[in-house]
């Protein structure tokens, strides 16, 4: 989520490459896709087709709502 929050949107390939290069993780695109599915179910991300690519978009609104509820 940190990577997505920095760039707002990226492809699965871009996200995988950033996680491997920046954080030294050894994780497959399939494993990341599985995690993204859970985040999408929680409405923390959404995905859209842009041309031949699926773009993953960070959605911080549920976190804002949660934080707002905690602070009030």
Place of tokens 């804002």: 64
4 CB burial (10 A radius; 0-12, 13-18, 19+): buried
Per-residue pLDDT tens digits for 16-72: 888 888 888 888 888 888 999 999 998 999 999 999 988 999 988 887 777 776 776
Place of tokens 């954080």: 23
Place of tokens 């990341």: 32
Strand partners, 45: 58
How high is the pLDDT of residue 65? Answer: 72
Q: Which pTM does this prediction carry?
A: 0.73
**What percent of the chain clears pLDDT 90, i.e. is strictly above it?**
21
CATH label of the domain that carries residue 19: 1.10.10.10
- For residue 62, the enclosing domain spans 2-71
- Residues composing the chain: 72
Tally of domains in the chain: 1
DSSP H or E run through 58 = strand 53-58
């Amino acid at each position: 989520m940190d990577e997505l929050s920095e760039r707002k949107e990226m492809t699965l390939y871009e996200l995988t490459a950033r996680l491997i290069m920046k954080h030294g993780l050894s994780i497959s695109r399939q494993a990341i896709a599985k995690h993204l599915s859970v985040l999408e179910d929680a409405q923390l991300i959404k995905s859209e087709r842009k041309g031949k690519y699926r773009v993953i978009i960070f959605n911080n609104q549920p976190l804002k709502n949660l934080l707002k509820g905690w602070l009030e």
